[in-house]
Chain A
Amino acid sequence: MLFAGVLLACAGGGEVWAESGADADLTQLSLEELMQVEVRSAARREQPISEAAAAIDVITREDLARSGITTVAEALRMVPGMQVAQIAGGRWAISARGFPQRSANKMLVLQDGRSLYTPLFGGVYWESQDLSLDDIERIEVIRGPGGTLWGANAVAGVVNIITRSAAQTQGGQVDLVAGDEQVRTHFRYGAPVGSRGHLRVFAQGTAADTQAMPGGGQAFDGWDQWAAGFRADWKTGSGNEITLSGSASDGTFDGLANRASLAPPFSEQMPFSQTLATQHLLGTWTREGQGGRQDRWQFFVDRIDRVAFEIDEDRFTADVEFQQMRSLGERHSLVWGGGARMTTDSLAESAVIRIPDLKRDDYLYSAFVQDEIQLSEDTRLIAGAKWEQNDYTGLEFQPSLRLTHRVGPGSLWASASRAIQLPSRLVSETEIDVAAFPDPGGSGAVNVISVIGNPELKAQNLHAYEAGLRRCSGREFCFDLAAFYYEFRDVTSTQTLAPEVIPGIPVRVTLPFLLVNGREIDAHGVELSANWSPVENVRVRGWYAYLDLGTPPVNPLLAPRDAFHAEHHAHLRIQVDPSPRWSIDLLGYYVGRRPYVPQPVQSFTRVDANVRYRVQDSMTVSIAVQNALDDRHLEYTGESFIVSSEIERSALARVIWAF
C-alpha cells in the first residue's frame, strides 16, 4: 500500500551499514566512509533483495541511465517475467504472469506510493507516464500478489516508481534527445530551501513520430506531450521528513481505431486524436520514533481529463493513508495502517459505448496489518492481512503468509496468498459494441456484438502459491529462480443473452454478451534470472520466463482477452565499460508466439543498443539504436478499438549537461 521501502533495500551506500550490522565498530571507518553510511535503512527495516520473501527485482538508476531507453514502459522489459508489448505509438500492454492488454488491470502501478491506475478500466494510461528517467531513483517490481500491503488490483504484481529526492537533483540540468522517432527536451533545476529543505522544478516536452501500418504506410499514431512539476523535501535533525510533489501534463495522442458500424464494410478504421491532461499533488510525512518506530502519512489528489473517440473520462481522486512500523519485543516487526480514497468521475458516451450513469462517486476504505516474526537467526515468517471496503463488491479480505530462510550466501522462500481484482467501472456498467457483421442468413440485418457490463460482478480472486531460490557463487554469479501455481476463480467471462432486434434501416440485431464470473484458470510458470560478471567491467544479465495459463475456451465471436499472452519471454542485457568514461549496453528481448490471439502475432526479438560517453563530469553524450534487427515488427494485436502498429527501427542521440 504505502511504498515498497518496507520490503526492499536500495543498493549502494546502505550496504556498508548492512554488512557492518548493529554492533559493528564504526570508529574503524574513515570519515569519508562514515559519510557514506546510510542511517535510515536499518530503522525502516529495509532488507536486502536477496532475503525478500517474494519475486522482486529492481531497476537501478544506473541501469536506466546507460540503457538508452526513454520511457518507463520500455524500461520494464528489463524486469524478469515482465511482459511488455508496444501496441502502437505511445501505447503499451504491460503485465507480469499473464493478462497483458492495454487495460492490463491486474498490475498495480505506483509512483512514490501514489496509485497511477484509473478505476475506469483498472489499467494505466502508460502514454501519459512520461516521467524523465533521470528523475527516477529506482523502479521496484514485485511479481505476484501484493494485495496484503498494497491492496486490490495488485494481483499480477506491483510496480513502484521511486523518484529521486530534491537533494539528489541539485543544480541545473538540460537533457536533450533527438532521433528519427522522438524529440525530447527536459530541463531541471534544484536549489536548497532554508538549511533543511531542497526543491527541484522541471519542465519537459516530448514529440514522437508515427509508427508504421502492417504492410507499410503511416499509422497516424504520433503523440506529443508537455509536463512540468516540482518536488520539495525537508528533513529535520529529529527524524521528521516531509516531501511534497506535484505535476501537470497535457498531451495529444493520435491513433487509428476500429469502430463497429452498421454500414458496409461494418468496421470503420478511423484516425482519432486523444487528449489527456493530468495534475497531481502528493505529500508524505515520515517520522522516525524511538526504537525503530516509523510513522508515515501520505495524501494525494489527482485529476485526469481524457477525451477520446470511445469514451471521455474526467476523474478526480483524493487519497489519504497512514502506516506505522514498529518492533514488538525482540522478534516481531509490525507494520499496520489504513487509508481512505474517494474518486469521482464524469464520463461521456460515444457511438460505441453506452453508460447508464455518467457520474459516479466511489469510496474505498482499507486497513492492513503485517507481522514479521524472526523465528530463528536465519528464518523469518511474515503473516499479514488486508481488509478493503469498496462500493462495487463490499468487504474484501486478502491474507498472505510468507516464509524465508537464509542458506549460506542465498535464501529460500515460499508463500501462499490471496489477492482480488475489483470490477472496473467499465465492466460493471457499460455496454460496448465491439464488432458488427451482416446477418449470415442474408436478411439484410446487421448483427452487432455488444459486451454488457454487469453490476452484480464479484471480485475476481486468486489463490497464489509461490516459491523461490536465490544463490550467489562469489561475487561473479548469482541466480534467482521463482515458480508459481495460481488458482484464479470467478474470472470474468461472457454469457450469451437472447438477441435483441432494433428496427431501423438497416435492422440492428444486438448479440449481447453479459459479463459474468464464469471461468476458472489454473496457471503455473517459472522465471529464472541470472547475473554474471566475468570481469569487473563486464556484466551479463538475463532472464527467461515460462507461463502456462491453460487453454482458453473457444468462442468464435468473442475471444477471451485474458488469454492473449505469450508462453515464453526472455531478456539478455550486456553491459561493458571499456573505460571509466565509456559504457556500452546491448539489450535483447524475446517474446514467443501468442497462441490464442485471433490475429496471431509471430514471435519476435528486439535488440536495443546504447553507447554513452562521459565528456566531462558535467556532460554525457550517447547514441542509441532501438529495434535494431528489423525495419519494423508487430508486437501485439487484439485490442477492441486500437489498431496495432508495427514498431519501427529508430536511432537517437542524447546530450545531458549539468550546470
Chain B
Amino acid sequence: MIALAICVLLCVPASPAADFDGAEYRVKAAFIYNFAKFTRWSEDKSRLCVAVLDAPQFAETLSRTLEGKAVEGIPIDVKPVADPELLASCDLAFIPAARSSSYAAIVELLRDKPVFAVGDDPEFAEAGGLAAFYLADERVRFVLNRGTHRAGGLDISSQLLRLGRMVDGEKRP
C-alpha cells in the first residue's frame, strides 16, 4: 500500500494546462493591476504594457480585467508574446509555470531591466525573478525576491513589500 502512496506522489503530470480564465486567474489578473498601481517606473510613461508569455488565454483574461482601467491616468495594454526576448519591451511581464525550464534564461534577459516580472510559480522568484504567485489556503498570495526588487530601477511601494512574502535566491547560470 505504501507503493500505492508513492505512485500517487509520482504520477502527477509535470505541468497540466492551467485554467487561465477561471476564478484563480481572474484574481491573479487583479493582482497584476495592483502591482502596476503600487510601482513607479523611473521614466515617465504615457502607457504601461504587460507582456504575457505563451499564455494567450490569460492575456485575454487580463485584457478583460484591465479594460478601461488606468493607473493614475495611464492606461495599461496587454501584449501576448511567444518569445522571451520581447518581455523586456514591456513594463510588466507574466511568465507561466509551463516555462519553468527557461526561468534562468528569462531572469538573465530581464536582469537590471525596469520590468516587474511575475512568475506563476514560486520557483520563478527563487530563480531570481522579481515576483511570483502561489496558493495558500485556496487563496492567491505572492512572493518577492529580496535581491531582485532593489535592482532594475523600479520603485515598489512599501505596501506591496509588506504583503508579499520575501524570498532569497538567485541561481545564476
Q: Which residues of A contact B (CB under 8 A)?
A: 13, 17, 22, 26-27, 29, 31-32, 34-43, 165, 167-168, 195-196, 235-240, 242, 244, 281, 283, 285, 287-293, 297, 299, 301, 318, 320
Contact = CB atoms under 8 A, between A and B. Distances in A.
6 contacts: A31-B163, A39-B24, A40-B24, A236-B97, A242-B9, A291-B19
B146 to A, nearest CB: 15
Given A31-B160, A39-B24, A244 B135 contact: no
Contacts of B65: 26-27
A277 to B, nearest CB: 17
Interface in B157-173: 159-160, 163
Interface in B126-151: 126, 133-141
B91 interface: no
Contact of B5 (A167, A244, A289, A290): A244
B30 A27 contact: yes
A238 B126 contact: no
Contact size range, B: 35 or more
A195 B22 contact: no
Contacts, number: 136
Q: What is the interface of chain A mostly: helix, strand, loop, or mixed? A: mixed
Nearest to A302: B1
B18 interface: yes
Contacts of A320: 4
Interface string B7-26: 01101110111110011101
Interface stretch (B78-86, B106-114, B117-125): B117-125
B12 A285 contact: yes
A303 B31 CA distance: 47
| 4 A-B pairs with the lowest CB-CB distances in the bound complex, closest first | A26-B30, A237-B121, A39-B24, A42-B23
B19 A35 contact: no
Contacts of B27: 26, 34, 37, 39
Contacts of A301: 1
A195 B123 contact: yes
Nearest to A39: B24
B47 interface: no
Nearest to B119: A237
A242 B18 contact: no
Contact of A235 (B26, B126, B135): B135
Contact of B1 (A165, A239, A289, A318): A318
Contact of A196 (B4, B134, B159): B134
Contact of A285 (B2, B8, B17, B19): B8
A37 B140 contact: yes
B30 A41 contact: no
Contacts of B29: 26
Contact of B138 (A38, A196, A287): A38
Given A40-B24, A195-B122, A236-B97, 6 more contacts: A31-B160, A34-B31, A43-B23, A168-B137, A237-B97, A297-B8
B33 interface: yes
A618 B17 CA distance: 41
B69 interface: yes
B102 interface: no
Contact of B23 (A31, A40, A195, A196): A40
Give the residue among B13, B135, B160 with the most A Cβ atoms within 10 A: B135
Give the residue among B2, B30, B34, B134 with the most A Cβ atoms within 10 A: B30
